[in-house]
Structure 1
Amino acid sequence: MKKFLAAIAMTALAATSVNAATILVGTDAGYAPYEYKDPQTNEIVGFDIDLIKAIAKATGNEAKIQNMQFAGIIPALQSNMIDVAAAGMTITPERQKQVTFSDPYYDVGGLIMAVHAKNVDKYKHMNDLEGKRVCAQIGSTGALLAKEIKDAKLVAFDQTGEAFMELKMGGCEAVLVDKIVTEFYLAHKAEKDIVLVPHLYTHKQNGFAMAKGNEKMHKIINTGLKTIKENGEYDKIYEKWFGKKPEKK
C-alpha cells in the first residue's frame, strides 16, 4: 500500500513538473529593499523578488530571476528576452505606452530629495535645484522628475548606490529617489553625510511589467497576486521587508 501511494505521489509530482512553466523575470539588483544582492550569499533577494516567486508558485509556475541594468529591462520585455519585470517599477503614463502593467502591488510613498548633510539648509525644495546637477538612476522616475527642473543637469547612473556616492563626493547637489530605498540605504550603511529632505514629490504605485499583448502572462501575474493577497502570503512578505503589515483599504 505504501509503495502504491508513493507511486501516486511521484506521478503527481512529475505531472506538476511537466505542467509548470518557468517565468523569466528581469530585475536590477541594486534597488534595496525591492531587489538587491545579499552581501552574505550573493543571492538576489528583496520585496519584489519574494513577491514574484510567491506569485509564480501560487499559479503552479517557477520564477527564474535575471539581473540586468534597469535601462535595459523594457527593451528586454519588448524583445521577449524576459516575461516579466520585477524591478520596483513605478506605473507611469510614459511606461504604459511601452509595456503592460499588472495590478498595482505597492503604494510608493513618493520620491524624495536626498542631499549632503552640509547643504540641508540650502536645498529644501525642488526649485532650489534649478540650474544644479541632480543625480538619479537611469530610466527611473527620479530621472524623469529631474528633467522637469529648470536648467538642471541630470547625472544618471546604472545603480542608485552610485548616485549616492556621487552626492557624497560633491558631483551633484541632490539625488531624486524612492523614499523607501533611501531609508533602507541610510539605515544599512550607517550613512551620516546624506540626509532626506522631508517632502514627498509624487505618490505612485509599483507594478510588474510585461510586453504589450502578452495577455497570458498578464492573467498569470494578476491571478497570482490576487491569490497571495487573499491567502495572507502578501502580508507576510510585506511585513518581512517593511517591518509592519500593509494598511488595509
Structure 2
Amino acid sequence: MLRSVLIAGLMLAALPFSAFAADLPDLGGKKIAVVTENAYPPLQFVDPKTGKPIGWEYDAMNEIAKRLNFQVEYLNTSWDAMIQAVSDNQYQIGMDGITINDERKQKIDFSEPYMRSEQFMLVRSDEKRFTDPKSFAELKDTLVGSQPGTTNFYVAVYNVLDGNEQNPRIKLFETFGATIEALKTGDVDLVLTDSTAGKGYVDASGGKLKLIGGPLGAEDFGFIFPKGSDLKAPVDAAIAALKADGTFEALNKKWFLDYKLGQ
C-alpha cells in the first residue's frame, strides 16, 4: 500500500504545472532573501562532496519560488540569531526546521505547516545504559547536548530532565552539527532530534548512531516571515498546492527514504 501511495504521489507530481498553478499569485520575478543555517540535515546542509547547500527545504523553496515567480537569494546566519533577524526585516523568509509555537508567533509570522515531525532520542549505537527518558534521567552522570532556545533544548529540559533550564547535565553548543560530533566522541550521551533529521544522521553514521525509545511529542515546521509580511499568503497557497499535487511526498521519498547522507 505504501509503495502504491508513493507511486501515486510521484505521478501527481509529474502532471503539468498548469494543472495546479492556475490560482497561485505571480510575484513578478522579484528577489526575495531567504535565510537558513545549513546545519540540519536532511532539511538543509552543506554537501560534503560538493560544498554546496542542499536539502529538503532547498528543494521545497526552489519549487515555491518557481510557482510564485520570484528569485531566491539564499543567505546564512546562526540559529540563535535567525528569528530575531527575520523579525527585524533583515531577511524576508527564514527556513531551518523551525517549530511553530505561540512564543515565537509573538515575534514573527509562520507559514502553514509544511512538515510534521516527532522528537526521538539519538545515541551511540553501543549505548545500553538507558532506553528512554526516565532511565536516562535516573543515571545522574549522563549528559545531553543541545542548542539553546531550540525545541530540542526545551524537550530535554521539561520532558527528559527536571524542568531546570540551568541544569548542568545539558551541554550547550552553537550548532546542531556540533551536538552530533559531541555525541560521536562521547562528550555527551544523548541528543534529541526530530525523526527526519535523526534518520539522516543515523544513515550517515556508518553504524555509529541509533534512535531509541518512542516519540516524545509531535511538532509542526513552518517557514517564518516578519510580522505582517505580504509573502505569507502566497507561500501558504504554494504549500497547499505542493501538498495536493504530491510534490512534498516526492521530496520526502527523495530525502528520507532514498538519499543516504554522506555517501
- TM-score class, shorter-chain normalisation, is 0.7 to 0.9
Structure 1 position 28 matched with structure 2 position 37: yes
After TM superposition, the structure 1 = structure 2 runs for residues 189-204 of structure 1, keeping only pairs within 5 Å, are 189-192=205-208, 194-204=209-219
After TM superposition, the structure 1 = structure 2 runs for residues 94-105 of structure 1, keeping only pairs within 5 Å, are 94-105=103-114
Structure 1 partner of 2:7 = none
Deviation at 1:31, TM superposition (A): 0.7
Deviation at 1:51, TM superposition (A): 0.6
CA displacement, residues 131-156 of structure 1 (integer Å, 9 cap, x when unaligned) = 44211233321111122221643212
- Unpaired stretches in structure 2, ≥5 consecutive residues: 1-26, 259-263
TM-score (norm 1): 0.82
Aligned residues: 224
Structure 1 position 237 matched with structure 2 position 237: no
Deviation at 1:40, TM superposition (A): 2.2
Deviation at 1:116, TM superposition (A): 2.9
Instruction: Please say if residues 25 and 65 of structure 1, whose CA atoms lie closer than 8 Å, have aligned partners that are also in contact.
Output: yes
Which structure has more relative contact order (CA 8 Å, sep 6+)? It is: 2
Q: CA RMSD in A?
A: 2.1
Deviation at 1:209, TM superposition (A): 1.0
Which has the larger Rg?
A: 1
Q: Which contiguous aligned blocks of 4+ residues in structure 1 show a shift greater than 6 angstroms?
A: none
Structure 2 partner of 1:79 = 88
Q: Bigger shift: 146-155 or 48-57? A: 146-155
Q: Which residue type is aligned with residue 210 of structure 2?
A: V
Deviation at 1:242, TM superposition (A): 2.4
Distance 1:69 1:127, change over 3 A: same
Q: Which residue type is aligned with residue 171 of structure 2?
A: V
Structure 2 partner of 1:112 = 120
Deviation at 1:200, TM superposition (A): 0.6
Structure 2 partner of 1:14 = none
SS of 1:87's equivalent in the other structure is coil
Distance 1:165 1:232, change over 3 A: closer
Structure 1 position 134 matched with structure 2 position 150: no
TM-score (norm 2): 0.78
SS of 1:26's equivalent in the other structure is strand
- Unpaired stretches in structure 1, ≥5 consecutive residues: 1-17, 245-249
Deviation at 1:43, TM superposition (A): 1.5
Structure 1 position 169 matched with structure 2 position 185: yes
CA displacement, residues 100-150 of structure 1 (integer Å, 9 cap, x when unaligned) = 111111111x11112233432x22221333344211233321111122221
Q: Which residue type is aligned with residue 228 of structure 2?
A: G
- How many Å separate the matches in 1 of 2:221 and 2:106? 16
Instruction: Please say if residues 137 and 159 of structure 1, whose CA atoms lie closer than 8 Å, have aligned partners that are also in contact.
Output: yes
